[in-house]
Amino acid sequence: MSGVALGVRSPVVTTAVYDTYWRFAAERQRSFFRHLRGNRPFTHDPVLAAHRFTNAYRASDRVSQYLIQRVIYRGDQAPAEVFFRTILFRIFNKVETWELLAARFKEVRWSTFKFEAFDEALTAAMEQGQRIYSAAYIMPSKSGELNSPRKHRNHLRLIQQMMRNDLPLRLADAPTAARAFTLLRECPMIGDFLGYQFLTDLNYGPLLDFSEMDFVIPGPGAAGGLRKCFAETGGLSDADLIRLVTESQEVEFVRRGLEFDGLWGRPLQLIDCQNLFCEVDKYARVAHPEFTPENGRTRIKQNYRPSKEPLRVWYPPKWGVNERIPHELRATM
């Protein structure tokens, strides 16, 4: 272990996993660029090669890219419609479910939404053996008056409730990211983790315009990674540690002699470093089994399966990133 001051009075004490955190971030981003360019192998790291991990930048993940390119920035850009599409997509978090609804209704719009029709489409898909939810998020299924035995019905009712309570316009008027998070958190079935994820998704689009450095809510996976990276926290909260790490990234990469190719000039943001703590928690199960807590997880569940679809990227225009992406790597919008 080594004490690392990182600009705080009571120095935090890091473990070997903290060093791995930076090496993982650099290699994961390097493999992302190799994947974009079609250069195989994507990585020589045996753990990364064998298992599925999210990208260093959350917005670079395939599902997030689909959301940005095909859901948020396609269709009516009115606040209510952008909110409706974004939340509907992310609640199920599955491209196939979105495409099922898009094929059935031609254009997915709040102005033409009918609960019964959407319920019928999703119920029919389930009866044919189709999974309509991704396993990436655990979506709560009941709350108060939303207590149908069919999970998707509760979620459709939740969206209806959000829309009827003018949540899109209330979010657009929120003065801070923290206030917007609170508004989402007040909705049934939306806890801290989902509230922060939904806030991040909505902030990709034109509805919100907060910096991704404004606010962070550590998820349970990130908390596990933080426990493995820090033997002593110097009295800092998990959110404070994530901010400290994010603000120290340039120094930490240089200290280890690591080249980190950012996102065409965009450094890691709070949401990205939060996600990286979640991923290094998984990575350490194999790379650092000695840091697995008693009765903790010792395996990485998801194996890596290469996609047949080529990846081309495009990011929220307000980031100023798209103009720097080489033409052959950029999605056509």
Tens digit of pLDDT per residue, the chain (333 long)? 345 545 555 589 999 999 999 999 999 999 999 999 999 999 999 999 999 999 999 999 999 999 999 999 999 999 999 999 999 999 999 999 999 999 999 899 999 999 999 999 999 999 999 999 998 777 887 777 788 889 999 999 999 999 999 999 999 999 999 999 999 999 999 999 999 999 999 999 999 999 999 999 999 999 999 999 999 999 999 999 999 999 999 999 999 999 998 999 999 999 999 999 999 999 999 999 999 876 577 778 778 887 778 899 999 999 999 999 999 999 998
Distance of CA 174 to the CA centre of its chain: 22
b/e burial code for range 148-165 (CB count within 10 A of at least 16 → b): eeebbbbbbbbbbebbee
Task: Specify whether the CB–CB gap between 195 and 217 falls below 8 A.
Answer: yes
Tokens of 129: 């053996």
pLDDT of residue 1: 39
Nearest Cα to Cα of residue 194 among 122, 136, 131, 270: 136
Say how far apart CA 143 and CA 120 lie, in whole Å.
22
How many alpha carbons lie under 13 Å from residue 153 in its C-beta half-sphere?
A: 11
pLDDT of residue 141: 77
Say how far apart CA 79 and CA 69 lie, in whole Å.
17
Tokens of 219: 């998820």
Residue 38 has a CB neighbour count (10 Å cut-off) of 10
Q: Dihedrals φ, ψ of 146, to 5°? A: -90, 80
Element holding 19 (H helix, E strand): helix 16-37
**Three-state SS annotation for 78-89:** CHHHHHHHHHHH
Supply the pTM of this predicted model. Answer: 0.94
pLDDT of residue 112: 97
Is beta strand 2-4 parallel, antiparallel or unpaired with respect to 12-14? antiparallel
Residue 275 burial by CB count (10 A; 0-12/13-18/19+): exposed, middle or buried? buried
